[in-house]
Amino acid sequence: MSVTEGKSTEPKSHEIEIRLSDIVQFLKSSRRTVISWALGGLVVGGVYAAFQPNQFTSYVTVMPELQARGTSSLGNLGAIAGLAGINLESGAGGPDAIRPDLYPSMLQSIPFGLYMLKQPVRVENRLFTIESYLDWADKNSLGSRIDNALFGWLSSDEPATSKSTKEPAPNPSQPLVLSRDQEGMVLNMTKRVVAEIDKKTGVITITAKMPDPVVAATVARLSLDYLTNYVTSYRTGKSRQQVTFLDKQVTGARRRYEAAEYNLSAYRDRNRSVFLNTAKIEEQRLQADYLLAQTVYNDLSKQLEQARIKVQEEAPVFQVLEPARVPVNKSEPKRTIIALGFAIFGAIIGLAIFLVRWLTRL
């Protein structure tokens, strides 16, 4: 006798079947909750965006000199070694230690931040330092004014004076001593100035972001000045020290030369009619001293002029491609995008809340 076993077509109890119609019904049922949360997020985002101060961005584009002017004495051998990854120009006559790809790091340093905070800017016919301006702009923003109104704090309309902090020691061997407030201001300053380099073209773009368009353009220009002065001081530092040393030597040699010339002339005036051999010996000695002092003075003068020329030769070239301009339109905040982002986030929260409630009812 054959027994035919039929397969059960009923779904298992632990399986949940989700159909497209169920998803559509779920979205229809949750639309009120989603719309309510989305509108709430839109309102919150609009209020938050309204409290954000306007920010203006200014750009300056510069093309620096890629390496020193001097040519390598290795010739083609250096180029062939470079293909193998060997740098034969690491000693004298090679490229500078400060490469253009290190320039952005200079504008993120603490000395740069301290330098910029002390620079003067003019806003609304009033003179500020950048440090006092940032403090004043923060206190007079919309959000700060509302806080002051709620908590009864008074906001001054005059520029805030710089906080009395201990100035950094000029001696580089001593550590910097900064207060907590000053560290915060330096961090704020370095965040507002960003330098980027295009590795293909070597072009450097310095971006400055400030609450005022004129201040933004001024900060971009001052940042470029700091960078060019820093690199120029590094490249020409040794040559300028040599110029200072030779200048002192030339001054001393000129005095010795003038003294020897005077002694020789005075001796000849006193001994015009003297024919003694001892007098001639003394005149020859004075004349030898005069010629030696003259030779030393002429040689040092030539070396001094050569050192001055070398300073000019080693000075880097920074060609400004796009100068800093006062921006017309604000760059931040994007209030519409912020409000829409809050609305989307609110809609997601509303959908998640309705989903939890719907699952608990199953």
How do residues 46-71 score in pLDDT, each as one tens digit?
888 777 788 899 999 988 876 544 44
Whether the per-residue pLDDT at 9 is higher than 70: the answer is no
For residue 182, the model assigns a pLDDT of: 82
* Confidence at 141, pLDDT banded by 50, 70, 90: low
Answer with the residue of higher pLDDT: 247 or 68: 247
Tell me which of 76 and 265 has the higher pLDDT: 265
What pLDDT, on a 0 to 100 scale, did the predictor assign at position 275? 64
pLDDT at 66: 65
From residue 310, give the alpha-carbon distance in Å to each of 189, 244, 249: 36, 13, 18
Q: Which of 202, 245, 246, 234 is nearest to 315 (CA)?
A: 234
Report pLDDT for 153: 44
Can you tell me the distance from the alpha carbon of 307 to that of 36, in angstroms, rounded to the nearest whole number?
A: 77
**Portion of the chain with pLDDT greater than 70, in percent:** 72
Mean pLDDT of all residues in the chain? 76
Give me the mean pLDDT over the 152-162 stretch.
Answer: 44
The pTM of the whole model exceeds 0.85? no
| pLDDT tops 70 at residue 232 | yes
Choose the weakest-confidence range: 28-37, 92-101, 170-179. 92-101
Q: Looking at the predicted structure, is the pLDDT value of residue 7 above 50?
A: no
Quote the percentage of the chain above a pLDDT of 90: 13
Structure confidence by residue, pLDDT tens digits, 342-358:
888 888 888 888 888 77
Lowest mean pLDDT among 25-39, 158-172, 215-229: 158-172
pLDDT computed for residue 219 by the predictor: 92
* pLDDT value for 67: 56
Query: What pLDDT, on a 0 to 100 scale, did the predictor assign at position 149?
Result: 44
| pLDDT confidence bin for 248, thresholds 50/70/90 | very high
Query: Which of 23-37, 64-78, 159-173, 220-234 reaches the highest mean pLDDT?
Result: 220-234
Is 221 or 144 the better-scoring residue by pLDDT? Answer: 221
161-169 — which CB contacts under 8 Å span 24+ positions?
161/132, 162/118, 162/129, 162/131, 162/132, 163/131, 168/111, 168/114
pLDDT (0 to 100) of residue 142: 55
The per-residue b/e assignment along 209-228, b for 16 or more CB within 10 angstroms, e otherwise, is bbbbbbbbbbbbbbbbebbb
Judge whether residue 224 has pLDDT over 60: yes
Residue 19 has pLDDT above 70, yes or no: no
pLDDT of residue 231: 87
Crossing angle of the two packed helices 277-314 and 237-270, in degrees rounded to 10: 160
For 268-291, write each residue's pLDDT tens digit. Answer: 877 776 666 666 777 888 888 989
Query: 3-state DSSP call for residue 203?
Result: coil
Of the candidates 35, 37, 172, the one whose C-alpha atom is nearest the C-alpha of residue 109 is 172
